[in-house]
Structures are given as structure tokens and as C-alpha cells.
Amino acid sequence: MCGILAVFGCIDNSQAKRSRIIELSRRLRHRGPDWSGLHCHENCYLAHQRLAIVDPASGDQPLYNEDKTVIVTVNGEIYNHKQLREKLKSHQFRTGSDCEVIAHLYEEHGEEFVDMLDGMFSFVLLDTRDNSYIAARDAIGITPLYMGWGLDGSIWFASEMKALSDDCERFISFPPGHIYSSKQGGLRRWYNPPWFLEQTPSSSYDPIVLCKAFEKAVFKRLMTDVPFGVLLSGGLDSSLVAAVACRYLAESEAARQWGSQLHTFCIGLESSPDLKAAREVADYLGTRHHEFHFTVQEGIDALEEVIYHIETYDVTTIRASTPMFLMSRKIKSLGVKMVLSGEGSDEIFGGYLYFHKAPNKEEFHQETCQKIKALHLYDCLRANKSTSAWGVEARVPFLDKEFINIAMSIDPEWKMIRPDLGRIEKWILRNAFDDVQNPYLPKHILYRQKEQFSDGVGYSWIDGLKDHANKQVTDAMLTHASFIYPENTPTTKEAYYYRTIFEKFFPKNAARSTVPGGPSVACSTAKAVEWDAAWSKNLDPSGRAALGIHSAAYEEAVDAKNKSLLSGSPKKLQGVEEKAAAVI
């Protein structure tokens, strides 16, 4: 990942302003520690902090067209840049950077070229011939981008909020799949896939087509000139990424530079579910596995730094970002700059445990659509900013445009959880990779129950966070929360604690409005909470909150019941019996 900052229409174009832009751009240096660049043209500034992944030697930014009348600053990877270069043979390329095609595509096609890009990206482009500019963000919002407005009439774009929040009166999260054009004076959507309308699809399920599409998505993301690996939790999604990467690594250009043994990485508390499962998958695949441990206290000590980097107060995101943040630091210390990760699968296939309660295929499909549309506020934000905090780039093959279109065109009846037919969550994905002759994974891993990352690193992690928050936030503070935080009012002490940290770093109203709110259970949307009446009394984003579905929820209730039986307290016993009944 890189960091970009662009400002247009500044009244002040003095040396002091240039110094200020450099100072603000420096706030993004963690994203791109390899080089810094700045281009100034009249009252316009384009700054860049580079993380060199492709063509480290000559791909410094900003990038230009032949006569340097078009300037572009980009954060991302364009996986089809070689194919696009073939169509631009009349153009002269200065570097081997995958992002340079953007300047030349603009020359060739004007503003209507963004859909030609296959990758993850946020970019800002200035055409000095008429001082017009455009900004665009990838289809799903894998890379972050913010847009702001200064009191002097200037317009700002930045990879992270911290680079523009102090100098903009108002700012927003730039919507995924959109382009901003100064000529047309506003935002418009460039990404318009069939699933976006949320109409129930009817295509039949072909496991071979789904399998091949995912293999293609993984293979194209092996495009790198630096050491890389896979984040491996041992769950289905990351294990499939690792299995496919192992299978095709030898065929990739990366193998010629870095060898054909894949590196995998996992983090967790001692004896956590993820560590055990990841080790087993790594042994099966024959990867060079790196296992990292952290303590609850180490995670708590990192919370302020985590919230500063990920720029949210969402409880689920912070819970999962903290171990990912700690792991990324360890990964970078090994000299690795790029990793593949498994985000997006649960949204596409309805993998969260609450999908067991979906009343019909129509609501199931609508929920998956809503979840994908919101990924830029949750898992994409977490995966990108937690890793970028240490100069590591995360790539997410499940969010490949072509793969999403194929997966979202399947009749959702195939995605529905059907115990009567032996179909657990994400059955169609598991079945697509259930190859008896040449297995990708062991059966029990292929059919392992869903664990959210914040749960899988160790159940005591979330319990430790709650205990810590309970010590920091009094009952009175939570009672009066609606007066202190009238927008997105925190409803738990944990949420209140995170909010206080967030507001310390980002005190403006515009900042808190970039974070979504509303009730949720086990990562659901507010709408899906209605699927089960019991959930409204148990609004916790942990997967264990899906009462009656997660095996750990059942086991905890039974354990608590047994302990209460031993203690002999009638009042305690009654409460535990009610909890156990809800679970069963």
C-alpha cells in the first residue's frame, strides 16, 4: 500500500503551504516508507508516500504521461497492467510500475477508463492542460480514500483521514466504485454490476466455474517483486487462499525471485483455536509457517495506536484489527511487504453464523449485497489499515471483480444453510474445493465452522477487552452517553471506551460521521437482527453471540450451568438455565 494526498484550488500557494502539504503527507509515511514524492502545479498539489511492490527501482510517484501534462498519484495494484500496456503501444512508458497505465489510459479514453482497471486502487489525476482533475476508488473500496473541503474552497483527497482532518471543515469517506470529476462537478458511480440492484439471481451453481474463478483471482495477486506470504488463520477462507497459492506459486514470476515455498503467518493467544488450526493447514500444505503469540495485556496496550491507525470506533473492527496490527509488525520485521488475506468470503457467501436464521433466499441475497457494499467501512478498512500501519500490503482475492460477479450471480438457494441437506455455511465454496482425487485441504478443515478473527485468536481476548473497558468506564458515564455522544451513541462500556480514544485523535463531527452505527449481532446488518427475536437482547458483534449456532456458545452456557450447580446458588442457577435454554 501507498499513501496519497492531493489538494486542488488552494488560495495560498506559498512555500509555507508546500511545507504544510509535506507535513500532512508525512502522516501517511507508515503506508509508504520507501519514497516520498510531491508535484506542485499552480494551486494544485499531488503528494505520494510509496511502498514499492512492483518495480521498486523506477516506479516512484507521482507518475506522468509522455510530456508530463498528466500527473497521477496512486495507491494500489493494477493486476492487468501488462494487458493494458499491450493496448497502449503508441504510448511511451517511463517505468515498469503497474500504476503508470492510468495516466496513458486517461490520455486515450478520457475519464471513461476506470472500469478497464482490474485491481485495487485509489488515485487522483491532474490534467494540467485545462487544470481539471479526477479521483476514483476501486469497486469494493479495498483501498481507503477520503474526500474533504477546506474553508478556502479547496478540495482534498487522502488515503487516510489523519492527513486532511485538521485542514478540512468537512470530509467524507469517498464511496467505493465512484469517480469524482471536476469537469462534471460531482461524484458518479463507475461500477455497476448486476448484483448491485439486489435482485435475486437465478444462475445455476457450477462448482468448477467457481473454483477456477477463485484460482485465477489468487494467481493474479502473486504479481510482486518483493517477498510475500499468506495470512493463515486455519479457517476456510485463509486456508483456501494458502492452498491455491501453494498450488500455483511455482508457475508465477514471483517464484523465480523468492522460491516456491510459500510463507504463512498466524497470530493468537497461547492455545487459541486459530493457532492450532493454522499449524495443521501449514503442515498439510508444506508452507514455511510463522506463528506469533500475544497476550491480552499487549493487545490492550496497543489499542490507542490501533484506533489512531484504523480511524474507527466500530467495536468489531477494533477487536479484530488489534491482533492483525501486532502480526503485521512481526511480518514486516521478517522483510515481508505483501500478504494475501481471506476477507470478503463471508459477505459473498453468507458465511457469518447469523445467516443460519435467514428466512428465505431473497433476504439472504439482499443481506449479502448489503454486506459487500459496506465492506469498505469494516473488513476492508481493517485489513488495509492494520497492515499498512507497518508498511505491509494486504491483497484480497475473494474481492476480485470477476469472482464476485460469478459468485453473486448464483441462485442464493444454493447458499442457504440447509442442515437437512448437509449444507453448513458457505457450503457451495467448500464443495467447489472438495476434490477427492487432488485435495486442496483436509476434510475437517474444509468443513470447519466459522470463527471470526477476533474470536479465533482466542476467546479470552474479547473477554479481556470487556473487562478492561468496564474498569475505564463507569455506570454513570454509560448512562449519560447519549448526551456526550448523541450521534452513534455507544451502548456498551467497550464501545464507549473506544469512542473516547477515537474522539481524542479525531474530534471533528465529520470524523465520527465516517463510522457506521446501528444494532448488530455476530456482524449482521441492523435489518438481519430482525431474523431472530432473541438477538435484540444480545447485541454483540462476536460470532458467539449467534445463540444456538456457534458451538462455543453452547459449550460456555453448559459450563456455566455446571459451575452454578456446584456453587448451589438458586438465583445464579436460574439465570444460567435461561442462557443455556436460549443457546439450545
Catalytic residue positions, numbered: 2
To the nearest 10 degrees (0 to 180), the angle between helices 551-567 and 570-583 is 160
- Do the Cβ atoms of 317 and 381 come closer than 8 Å? yes
Amino acid at 282: A
Question: Which CA distances in Å does 346 have to 45, 235, 236, 551?
Answer: 39, 11, 10, 18
- Do the Cβ atoms of 583 and 554 come closer than 8 Å? yes
- Do the Cβ atoms of 75 and 123 come closer than 8 Å? yes
Cell digits of residue 385: 489499515
Continuous H helices in 101-220: 101-109, 207-220
Three-state SS annotation for 152-168: CCCEEEECCHHHCCCCC
Phi, psi (5° rounding) for residue 558? -65, -40
For 394, the 3-state DSSP assignment is strand
Element (H, E) at 284: helix 273-285
The pairing of strands 228-231 and 263-268 is parallel
**Distance between CA 207 and CA 288 in Å, rounded?**
30
Alpha-carbon torsion angle 69, 75, 79, 83, nearest 10: 0
CA 195 centroid distance within chain: 20
**Distance between CA 165 and CA 170 in Å, rounded?**
8
Cell digits of residue 445: 478443515
Cβ-based burial of 572 (10 A; exposed 0-12, middle 13-18, buried ≥19): middle
